[in-house]
Structure 1
Amino acid sequence: MHASFLLSLVASITIPIRAHDPLSEQHIFGQQEATWLQKYGPQIDQPFSGPLSFSHLPYARCLELEETKFDIAILGIPFDTGVTYRPGARFGPYAIRSGSRRQREARGYTMAWGNNPFAEGLKIIDCGDVPVNPFDNALAIDQMEVAYSTLLRRPLATPEKAKGTNTPRIISLGGDHTIVLPILRALNKTYGPVSVIHFDAHLDTWRSYPGGITNQSRVTHGTFFAIAQEEGLISNTSIHAGIRCKLGGEEDIENDEAVGFQIITGDDIDDLGITEIIRRIRKRIGSTPVYLSLDIDVIDPGLAPATGTPEAGGWTTREVKRILRGLAGLNFVGADIVEVSPAYDNAEITGIAAADLVHDFLSMLLSDRPPSPSKPEQREEL
Structure 2
Amino acid sequence: MYQPKDSSKSPRFTGPRTFMRLEHVRTTEDVDFVVLGVPFDTAASNRTGQRYGPQHVRDFSVLLRPYNPDQDINIFEYCSGVDYGDIDVIPGNIHQTYANMEAGLQPILEKEITPILIGGDHSITLGSLRAFAKQYGPISLVHFDSHGDTWDNYFGEKYMHGTPFRRAVEEGLIDTEHSIQVGMRGPLYGPEDIEDARDLGYEVIPMKEVREIGYDKVMERIHARAKDRPVFVTYDIDFLDPAYAPGTGTPEVGGPTSHEALEFVRGLDGLNIKGFDLVEVLPTYDNGEITAVAASAVIFEMISLVALKKRSSSK
Q: TM-score, normalised by structure 1?
A: 0.76
Aligned residue for 1:46? 11
Aligned residue for 1:225? 165
**2:174 is the alignment partner of 1:234:** yes
Partner amino acid, structure 1, of 2:59: S
Cα RMSD after superposing both structures: 2.0
Aligned residue for 1:39? none
- Per the TM alignment, residue 245 of structure 1 is displaced from its structure 2 partner at its CA by 2.9
- Per the TM alignment, residue 129 of structure 1 is displaced from its structure 2 partner at its CA by 0.7
Aligned counterparts of 2:101 and 2:290: Cα–Cα separation in 1: 28
Aligned counterparts of 1:173 and 1:101: Cα–Cα separation in 2: 15
Partner amino acid, structure 1, of 2:40: F
- Per the TM alignment, residue 368 of structure 1 is displaced from its structure 2 partner at its CA by 4.3
Aligned counterparts of 1:178 and 1:338: Cα–Cα separation in 2: 9
Partner amino acid, structure 1, of 2:74: N
Aligned counterparts of 2:102 and 2:171: Cα–Cα separation in 1: 14
Aligned counterparts of 1:53 and 1:109: Cα–Cα separation in 2: 18
Aligned residue for 1:115? 73
Aligned counterparts of 1:309 and 1:95: Cα–Cα separation in 2: 18
Rg (Cα) greater in structure? 1
Aligned residue for 2:278? 337
Aligned counterparts of 1:72 and 1:352: Cα–Cα separation in 2: 21
Partner amino acid, structure 2, of 1:111: P
Correspondent of 2:139 among 152, 174, 194: 194
Do 1:171 and 1:336's aligned partners in 2 also have CA atoms closer than 8 Å?
Answer: yes
- Per the TM alignment, residue 321 of structure 1 is displaced from its structure 2 partner at its CA by 1.0
Aligned counterparts of 1:335 and 1:43: Cα–Cα separation in 2: 29
**2:230 is the alignment partner of 1:289:** yes
Do 1:99 and 1:354's aligned partners in 2 also have CA atoms closer than 8 Å?
Answer: no
- Per the TM alignment, residue 222 of structure 1 is displaced from its structure 2 partner at its CA by 0.6
Aligned residue for 1:91? 52
Secondary structure of the corresponding residue to residue 281 of structure 1:
helix
Correspondent of 2:123 among 159, 178, 194: 178
Do 2:76 and 2:307's aligned partners in 1 also have CA atoms closer than 8 Å?
Answer: no
Correspondent of 2:101 among 116, 124, 144: 144
Mean alpha-carbon deviation: is it higher for 69-78 or for 290-299?
69-78
- Per the TM alignment, residue 142 of structure 1 is displaced from its structure 2 partner at its CA by 1.4
Aligned residue for 1:134? 91
Change (3 A) 1:132 1:287: same
1:250-289 correspondence to structure 2 within 5 Å: 250-289=191-230
**2:306 is the alignment partner of 1:362:** no
- Per the TM alignment, residue 282 of structure 1 is displaced from its structure 2 partner at its CA by 0.9
Aligned counterparts of 2:85 and 2:30: Cα–Cα separation in 1: 14
Aligned counterparts of 1:222 and 1:231: Cα–Cα separation in 2: 16
Secondary structure of the corresponding residue to residue 226 of structure 1:
helix
Aligned residue for 2:3? none
Aligned residue for 2:4? none
Partner amino acid, structure 2, of 1:78: P
Aligned counterparts of 1:70 and 1:365: Cα–Cα separation in 2: 11
Aligned residue for 1:36? none
Do 1:225 and 1:259's aligned partners in 2 also have CA atoms closer than 8 Å?
Answer: no
Aligned residue for 1:55? 20
Aligned residue for 2:152? 207
Superposed CA deviations along residues 81-104 of structure 1, whole A, max 9, x for unmatched, are 11111001000100110110111x
Do 1:200 and 1:294's aligned partners in 2 also have CA atoms closer than 8 Å?
Answer: yes
1:345-360 correspondence to structure 2 within 5 Å: 345-360=286-301
Aligned counterparts of 1:258 and 1:118: Cα–Cα separation in 2: 42
Aligned counterparts of 1:43 and 1:305: Cα–Cα separation in 2: 31
Aligned counterparts of 1:206 and 1:270: Cα–Cα separation in 2: 25
Superposed CA deviations along residues 117-176 of structure 1, whole A, max 9, x for unmatched, are 1221x22110001121113222222112211123223x3xxxxxxxxxxx1110001111
| Aligned residues with identical type, % of pairs | 40
Aligned counterparts of 1:245 and 1:238: Cα–Cα separation in 2: 22
- Per the TM alignment, residue 273 of structure 1 is displaced from its structure 2 partner at its CA by 1.2
Q: TM-score, normalised by structure 2?
A: 0.92
Do 1:99 and 1:353's aligned partners in 2 also have CA atoms closer than 8 Å?
Answer: no
Superposed CA deviations along residues 33-57 of structure 1, whole A, max 9, x for unmatched, are xxxxxxxxx9943122221111111
Partner amino acid, structure 2, of 1:79: F
Larger relative CO (CA 8 A, sep 6+): 1 or 2? Answer: 2
